[in-house]
Amino acid sequence: MNTRRKEKHSRNREEQHEHRRFVVLKSIYSGARGGIGREVPLGTLAEDIAISREEAYRIIEFLTRQGLVEYLGAGPRVALTEAGTKYIRNGAGRRRTVR
């Protein structure tokens, strides 16, 4: 594969990851009805958007590091932070990604 094709493939893959992060964040937002701190069970979330629990955990870890969600432990459960709510409400839908 030439360099340009490799770069394009890499960009496409990263865009897919960014979009999946957005889908997870938006699903948490919907499950929490937009409320900060409202708990959403991670297992149900993964099933609802048809991703594996392992992928859901990786995405939640990323979103936690970005300060958009909070991991609540047993269950496991997650909740939106104020930053996560603002991200969705303030136009993230135009981009539909989380970088």
Q: What is the pLDDT of residues 63-98, one digit of tens each?
A: 999 999 998 877 789 999 999 999 888 866 566 666
Give pLDDT, residue 65. 95
Q: Which two tokens stand for residue 13?
A: 């893959």
Report the pLDDT averaged over residues 43-53: 88
Domain residue spans in the chain?
Answer: 3-95
Answer whether CATH 1.10.150.20 is correct for domain 3-95.
Answer: no
H helices present in the chain, as ranges? 3-31, 42-48, 53-65, 82-87, 93-95
pLDDT above 70 as % of the chain: 86
Q: What is the pLDDT of residues 10-41, one digit of tens each?
A: 678 888 888 899 999 999 999 888 788 899 99
Nearest C-alpha neighbor of 26 from the set 52, 61, 65, 63: 63
